Structure 1
Amino acid sequence: MVLGRKGRPMLLMGGYAFFRNNSNKNKTYWLCSKSRSLKCRARIITLDGSADSGPVTSVQSQTNATKNQTNPVDKTPRHPARRPPKRRKYPKAEEILATRTGTPVVFLNSRFGAAPVLLDDQTYQFCFTQKQISFYRCAQFRKSDCPSRVMVKDGVVYYVCSEHSHLESTAPPVDSGGIYSRSGGKK
């Protein structure tokens, strides 16, 4: 048992830290220190009020994904896998403006927020603006984790990253006259 950041007792077991949650008669309940950040539901119950004097009576681990997932060797809880954020490297805007040629931008009508951009039968949603340059990402970004990005400056659109991680087109449907249908925006 060690002291935590706030001076409260913490129990170390199997490489995981637990803080005291509740005491009841001769039992002390300990929660995983990752119970809030990772939503880990692991819990330890000790007898006689402390980890030093009392034996561990039960180790419970219930994550949101699976129940009763424990380490088979020492019966300590496992935490759910946490994906590190993916940080892709994109070229700088100044480099793109100096080396690449752009095409005139085509905006689609939208009832929700900023107008999406249409380029090569793909739709791009607004992401952010920096130094009077608007950056857009593929409409399939959340669904397919698509890395494709474009930027718009002075009515001209440039590719930041042209590769897509999906096969289907995100462009709205087009009728026989080359006009976008109502569901897509232009009419």
Structure 2
Amino acid sequence: MFAGNSLWGKWIRTNLLKEVSEKTQAGSWIWRKMLKLRYVAMTFHMKAVRNGRHISFWFDRWSELGVMPELLSERGILEMGIRREATLEEALCNQRRKKRHRRHILNDIEKDMGIVKEKLRSGTENVDLWRWKSGYKTNFSITETWQQTREVGSLCTWGRVSGFLRLQQSLPS
């Protein structure tokens, strides 16, 4: 939707993304519903890190731990010492001193960063991964996503349609 300079992408950026908020009255009711569900949608997408160039350290899900702002308070973000606009590559290759933190989550993030840094490959591009029941895969399936997000209720056996079908089946042909 946002790739390139399409007229549609420009319109969305100008009119709908100028202030991304659930409280905005810009856009249709479906757009506001989509904004409310973006945190659910974020759990279905992850980045497989190859070079880390086009992955936001703070706002993309590159770690199994999750998206960093969801894990850390404002204080934790400051303690990490990584600027908000940093790409993952910048954060990993920066000459900042690896710290030993008081909070376990910060140490877990530092450990994860070390593991990812060892796997960086400069010649390859990052890969988008999509959640399936069996784990993350490179292909997206709307059916699989629907199956994971919907609530399955019990079949209503007393309903009008099911009663009609039972009646039809019991009649002689």
Question: Could you state the TM-score of these two structures normalised by the residue count of structure 2?
Answer: 0.16
TM-score when normalising by structure 1: 0.15
Indicate the structure whose relative CO is greater, using CA pairs within 8 Å and at least 6 residues apart.
2
Structure label with greater radius of gyration: 1
**Higher fraction of helix:** 2
The structure with the greater share of residues assigned to strand is 1
